[in-house]
Chain A
Amino acid sequence: AQRVTQPEKLLSVFKGAPVELKCNYSYSGSPELFWYVQYSRQRLQLLLRHISRESIKGFTADLNKGETSFHLKKPFAQEEDSAMYYCALGNSGNTPLVFGKGTRLSVIA
Chain B
Amino acid sequence: GAVVSQHPSRVICKSGTSVKIECRSLDFQATTMFWYRQFPKQSLMLMATSNEGSKATYEQGVEKDKFLINHASLTLSTLTVTSAHPEDSSFYICSARADVGTGANVLTFGAGSRLTVL
Contacts and interface: CB of A to CB of B under 8 A. Distances in A.
**A and B associate in one complex:** yes
A44 B93 contact: yes
Contacts of B107: 46, 97
Contacts, number: 50
B31 A43 contact: no
Nearest to B30: A94
Most buried by A among B46, B107, B111: B107
Contacts of A101: 42-43
A1 B36 CA distance: 19
Interface residues of A, number: 24
Interface of B: 31-32, 34, 36, 42-44, 46, 49, 93, 95, 97, 100, 103-112
Given A90-B105, A93-B105, 16 more contacts: A42-B111, A43-B93, A43-B109, A44-B93, A46-B106, A46-B108, A49-B104, A51-B104, A91-B105, A96-B34, A96-B49, A98-B46, A99-B44, A100-B43, A101-B42, A101-B43
